[in-house]
Amino acid sequence: MLLLAAFVSTSFPCAAAQRPNIIVFLVDDIGYGDLEANNPECGIPTPNLNHLAKHGANFMNAHSSASVCAPTRYALLTGNRVYRGSNPMGTWPAFGGSQILPGQKTLADLLHSEGYATAFFGKLHLGGVPSKNGPYGQFLQGPRGHGFDYSLTLPSGIQAKPRAFFRNDRLSRWDDRQKDFVHFHNAAAADPHYQNQTMDNWSTETAGPLLMHDALDFIDRHHEEYQGKKPFYIHYCSQAGHTPYTPPAFFNIEDPMNTREGIPVRGQTTNLRTDMVYEADIAVGLFKERLLEHQLWDNTLLIFTSDNGVAKGLHSTWSKPIYHDSKDGLYGGRRTEKTQTPAGRDHINGQGVVDGIPIRGKKGYCYEGGHRVPLIFHWPDQIAPRDVEPLFALHDVYRTVAGLLDVKVAPQQAMDSVDLSDLVISGDTSTHRQHLMIQANRPTKSQNKNLNSWSFYTTETEGGDLTIWKAIINNNRKSPQMTAMAEVAELYHLSTDPGETMPVSDDKRSEAMLQAYKESISNPK
């Protein structure tokens, strides 16, 4: 049973005003190898992210909590594996009820209770409930119901209805004369503008500039009001780089509906998908620029990551198509997106590469390319710059942030999150994950639709070096804690086979990992 529990906090060694501002910058379907810092054959210029990676903790073995977006978004905000929410595979419909159950506290709830101003921008994918009696166009159980003071939400991102923004959980329309979002007072006022769940001035091309314009405006207003005496937490869920792959021709934060002037984006890289990765890099740079302007950059913790591995993308080919996926067909080896633009170059291994070896798979897969993601913690003069090898899951962000702030979390909350703050700050590996489990959205080597796969990791220390084993385990899709159907489908020694090309036959190890998986899925952490 889930209990409604209050957070218990300790005193932070610094005054509240000295606590860092926090920005979680979550991109959509961008792979580990989509960053130049992680991939020598990257075809996308990412100078701002390269700077973060060089001057922060850049994680080499970070994983989204699932290989698709909605489950990861729940896990990141709550610190729970997705099956602890209302749907074991995640909640996708905008108005299908909330994935977050009553009593489950989000990271925003925690930080709000610690005196932070909290704001949510972008794709939600956690569901909600339309209000029958409240203000027109309102939905319940959105960000405002889960710890956020302010929100500008795309309930389903840019890929599905409703094709509209919701400001503070109310249907909103951008007024280009006021340069602001406005609400409708009733259906009669909305009808001329909002039909078939689509706003008349909706454009996927301008979604990113509008989100960034509003986020920077939030920082300006917050700074003007508090002058650095109250920290903020921004949970920024960028639409880049999800389909329908519509980067703006120009990124204009002062006049966001104007795509004829500003920072050039479209046509600057390999293709439209990679242009959106470049757009995300630009957005990170704009955050930095505004924070420097207000002298807030040095006391801002910025966490950059992706909700899952790289998507299929455009014009992609594989050098060794020897594997077969039931949904996407043949794949394998080096993945190349051939340039389609005069300014671009071929983009190779967007799914990621380890020691020159391409990792396997992409979004949706249980293999590394499905959920190994870029993850950078950047906090000037506080986090030692380095590459970090131990495992990290995005649901660990919750307790790790709490650890960085010296805030205690009630045991009934963030049940699967591990505090890895010492690892983030100094590289101390005395606290690291020995087990990790990541959810995929379909099974491996099975046509049974009642199953889905989990990537289950164990770590060992051999001669002072960390070695990682991975079992792919198929289990009950609807009730993963009922483990009677669980079985090991494949086993890999990732430390010697990062490309997952050589499955290991080791019945003893497979059985031990299966038992560890069963114990882990039934218990927190």
E-only strand ranges, 291-434 = 300-306, 316-318, 323-325, 329-331, 335-337, 347-348, 353-354, 357-358, 375-378, 386-388, 392-393
Cα distance between residue 406 and residue 398, in whole Å = 12
10-residue averages of pLDDT along the chain (525 residues): 30 56 98 98 98 98 97 98 96 94 98 98 95 88 97 96 97 97 95 96 98 98 96 98 96 96 97 98 98 98 98 92 88 96 95 97 96 98 95 98 97 95 89 92 88 95 86 96 95 97 97 96 74
Same domain, 20 and 107: yes
Q: What is the pLDDT of residue 251?
A: 98
Assigned domain for 297 exists: yes
CB of 17 closer than 8 Å to CB of 228:
yes
Assigned domain for 434 exists: no
Same domain, 125 and 190: yes
Nearest residue to 29 (alpha-carbon basis) of 245, 273, 311: 311
Q: What is the pLDDT of residue 508?
A: 98
249: domain CATH number?
3.40.720.10
At residue 374, the 3 state secondary structure works out as coil
311: tokens are: 């998507």
Q: What are phi and psi of 28, to 5 degrees?
A: -120, 115
The full DSSP string for 336-356 is EE---STT---EE-TT-EETT
CA-based torsion, 99, 103, 104, 107: positive or negative: positive
Assigned domain for 11 exists: no
* Residues facing residue 378 across a β-bridge: 302
Cα distance between residue 438 and residue 65, in whole Å = 5
Predicted structure pTM score: 0.95
Other beta carbons within 10 Å of 441? 22
CB of 472 closer than 8 Å to CB of 513:
no
Residue 391: partners with Cβ closer than 8 Å, 6 or more residues away: 61, 62, 63, 432, 433, 436, 457, 459, 468
Assigned domain for 2 exists: no
Q: What is the pLDDT of residue 11?
A: 35
CB of 263 closer than 8 Å to CB of 250:
yes
62: tokens are: 């970070």
Cα distance between residue 22 and residue 235, in whole Å = 8
Residue 498: partners with Cβ closer than 8 Å, 6 or more residues away: 354, 355, 357, 359, 368
Assigned domain for 10 exists: no
Strands 357-358 and 353-354, by their bridges, are antiparallel
Same domain, 367 and 414: yes
The distance from CA 277 to its chain's CA centroid, rounded to whole angstroms, is: 14
Distances in Å between the Cα of 140 and the Cα atoms of 57, 80, 129, 133, 333 are 37, 22, 5, 11, 46
Same domain, 95 and 140: yes
Domain with 490 in it: 443-522
Domains identified in the chain, total number: 2
Cα distance between residue 454 and residue 442, in whole Å = 9
Last residue of a domain, one of 426, 455, 484: 426
Same domain, 378 and 465: no
- Burial class for 511, CB neighbours closer than 10 Å (0-12, 13-18, 19+): exposed
Please give the single-letter amino acid code of residue 142: G
Same domain, 273 and 149: yes
Q: What is the pLDDT of residue 446?
A: 86
Assigned domain for 321 exists: no
Last residue of a domain, one of 392, 426, 460: 426
Same domain, 419 and 505: no
Last residue of a domain, one of 426, 455, 490: 426
Assigned domain for 474 exists: yes
Q: What is the pLDDT of residue 524?
A: 65
Assigned domain for 433 exists: no
Same domain, 511 and 370: no
* Residues facing residue 400 across a β-bridge: none
Same domain, 405 and 462: no
Same domain, 106 and 164: yes
